[in-house]
């Protein structure tokens, strides 16, 4: 596969791979075996939840903690005067947004005032900016280290929709679900899906590296990108990106082959996806109405 010709959606690829590997460890409930495509639909539903819960929400939480740590240093240093300057900036910014729609002359006046407010806030921040950045770094390290210790803690799936496949699988196949959860935790101890963020950025970084007059090689641009984004994404250590890319391509091929076996066309044919989802939910409906003891194929 040539990544310059085809760019996978890496968040989906890496979370799909994690769920597929977890399923290989837990097996699949035997009563659902007669329903073609059900496994593919289940993998996609869990994978989507992983992207939301383990990537998007955690990145937002990391950013919130970083900002809180940085602002804590500024508030401690500047005290009430800093808070007043910040409130003035926010009020001016809000007024500017309204005036920009209402009239050019007022907006121009507020634009000048807005720059003055920003300069005033910078005067408070500048003396302790290095300390504030260090505090933000420590907050990011503490948060992501805690995440790495257990990427699927207790309650991780507590907020899934009650009528969704995840909740129904957990309710009906409780012993199997414990095996699946244990397998998923094991996979995520060794795999960090957050690498998808760098993989998504690589094509643009490659293009930038080949621009006429560019002084930096791709490796330097990747390092700059990681330093700018690593705290938010949890990529706090140096990354040997050629190895990461090579291994990720292998995962992409493995995911593609798995879906081709279980639901050919699933990734590019809406009809196949809809059929697989119907198979999964129909199978669950049949199982939920059956009194038989549930087994799974390991």
Inside any domain, residue 1: no
What pLDDT score does 295 carry?
45
What pLDDT score does 298 carry?
44
Residues in CB range of 54: below 8 A, 6 or more apart: 15, 151, 152, 188, 193
Inside any domain, residue 297: no
Query: What parts of the chain have a pLDDT lower than 50?
Result: 3, 291-298
Give SS3 for 8.
coil
What pLDDT score does 211 carry?
93
Q: Can you read off the two tokens belonging to residue 180?
A: 């699946």
Inside any domain, residue 277: yes
DSSP state letters, 194-235 = GGHHHHHHHHHHHHHHTSTT--S-HHHHHHHHHHHHHHHHT-
Inside any domain, residue 236: yes
What pLDDT score does 5 carry?
54
CB 211 within 8 A of CB 38: no
What pLDDT score does 294 carry?
42
What pLDDT score does 123 carry?
96
Number of domains in the chain: 1
Inside any domain, residue 55: yes
Domain with 169, as residue range(s), is 10-289
What pLDDT score does 13 carry?
98
Inside any domain, residue 298: no
Inside any domain, residue 269: yes
Inside any domain, residue 294: no
């Amino acid at each position: 596969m040539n990544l310059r010709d085809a760019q996978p959606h890496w968040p989906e690829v890496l979370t799909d791979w994690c769920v597929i590997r977890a399923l290989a460890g837990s097996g699949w409930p035997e009563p659902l075996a007669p329903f073609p495509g059900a496994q593919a639909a289940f993998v996609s539903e869990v994978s989507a939840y992983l992207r939301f819960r383990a990537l998007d929400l955690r990145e937002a939480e990391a950013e919130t903690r970083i900002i809180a740590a940085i602002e804590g240093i500024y508030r401690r240093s500047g005290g009430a005067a800093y808070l007043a300057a910040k409130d003035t900036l926010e009020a001016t910014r809000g007024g500017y947004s309204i005036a920009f729609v209402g009239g050019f002359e007022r907006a121009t006046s507020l634009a000048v005032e807005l720059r003055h407010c920003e300069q005033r806030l910078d005067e408070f921040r500048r003396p302790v900016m290095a300390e504030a950045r260090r505090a933000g770094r420590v907050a990011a390290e503490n948060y992501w280290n805690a995440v790495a210790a257990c990427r699927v803690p207790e309650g991780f799936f507590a907020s899934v929709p009650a009528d969704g496949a995840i909740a129904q699988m957990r309710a009906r196949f409780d012993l199997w679900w414990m095996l699946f959860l244990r397998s998923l935790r094991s996979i995520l101890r060794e795999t960090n899906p957050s690498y998808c963020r760098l993989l998504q950025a690589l094509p643009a970084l490659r293009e930038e590296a080949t621009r006429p007059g560019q002084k930096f090689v791709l490796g330097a641009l990747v390092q700059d990108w990681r330093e700018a984004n690593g705290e938010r994404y949890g990529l706090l250590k140096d990354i040997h990106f050629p190895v990461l890319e090579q291994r990720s391509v292998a995962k992409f091929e493995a995911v593609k082959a798995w879906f081709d076996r279980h639901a050919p066309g699933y990734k590019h044919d809406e009809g196949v996806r809809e059929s697989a989802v119907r198979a999964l939910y129909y199978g669950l409906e049949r199982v939920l109405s059956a009194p038989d003891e549930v087994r799974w194929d390991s």
